[in-house]
Amino acid sequence: MKLNTIPLKKRFINRNFQKLLLEKGQSREIGQGFINTVGIITEDSFDNLIKIKQELEEILEVKNTKIYSFRPYKRKQEVSFKHFTEKDFTWSGKIKQPSFKVFVDEPFDLLIGLFDTENMYIENAILRSNAKFKAGISNVNQQLYDLEISSSKNGTKLFFIELKKYLGILNKLKN
């Protein structure tokens, strides 16, 4: 994609994202505790978010998983406290929607990025998250995660099973 065809706001966000990625990459420390709290950031195109939440809670044996999903902004769309759009970001990439900011600022023990195509807004949210450990689908942006697993959005159950296996190896699960 040519730089001239990218909207101006997205270019500003990308520039600030790249700076923040360098800063956080140099000072990132991985949390050492067990996984108790889990957050998921995903695309709205993932089918049945309730099923995804139930699968994760069953496989990892955790409760109260929180999910936020990205959906493209539409003028007449009703505001939701479980979705965010490109309008929820300032030109510098900071989150301005209060409930989404609270979600991103929450120090989850594990944050999962469930998306398999580049998305500046989802990547920016994951980068800004205060989660202690971040995992996601590989081949998107390897600098965002502490653990990447090869998967697709159609294979979420397999992704969660693999995630459990690796979290067990890393001694992050109580079992």
Mean pLDDT of the chain: 85
Crossing angle between the packed helical segments 8-27 and 120-128, to the nearest 10 degrees: 30
**Lowest-confidence pick of 26-40, 110-124, 137-151:** 26-40
Concatenated DSSP letters of 40-80? EEEETTSS-HHHHHHHHHHHHT----EEEEE----TTPPP-
> Which pLDDT band, with edges at 50, 70 and 90, does 84 fall under?
very high
- Whether the predicted pLDDT of 75 surpasses 90: no
Rounding to the nearest 10 degrees, give the CA dihedral for residues 152, 86, 121, 60: -50
Domain 3-27+35-169, what fold?
Answer: Rossmann fold (3.40.50)
Among 134, 132, 135, residue whose Cα is nearest residue 109:
132
66 vs 25, more confident: 66
Percent of the chain's residues with pLDDT above 90: 43
CA–CA distance, 67 with 110 (Å, rounded to integer)? 12
99 pLDDT more than 70: yes
Least confident range from 13-27, 51-65, 114-128: namely 13-27
What 99-106 contacts at long range (C-beta under 8 Å, 24+ apart), as own/partner pairs, is 100/68, 100/125, 103/39, 103/66, 103/68, 104/128, 104/129, 104/130, 105/130, 106/37, 106/39, 106/66, 106/130, 106/131
Nearest to 84 by CA among 47, 134, 120, 137: 120
Model confidence pLDDT, tens digit, residues 13-45: 888 878 877 777 656 667 778 899 999 999 887
Extents of the domains making up the chain: 3-27+35-169
Q: Which residue would you say has higher pLDDT here, 155 or 157?
A: 157
- Cα separation, 25 vs 111, in Å, equals 16
DSSP 170: T
DSSP 138: S
Residue type, 92: S
Give residue 4's pLDDT band: very low, low, confident or very high (50, 70, 90): low
**Structure confidence at residue 20 (pLDDT):** 79
Contact 125, 101 (CB under 8 A): no
Tell me the pLDDT band of 1, cut-offs 50, 70 and 90. Answer: very low
| Position 3 pLDDT exceeds 60 | no
pTM for the structure as a whole: 0.85
CB 108 within 8 A of CB 132: yes
pLDDT computed for residue 125 by the predictor:
94
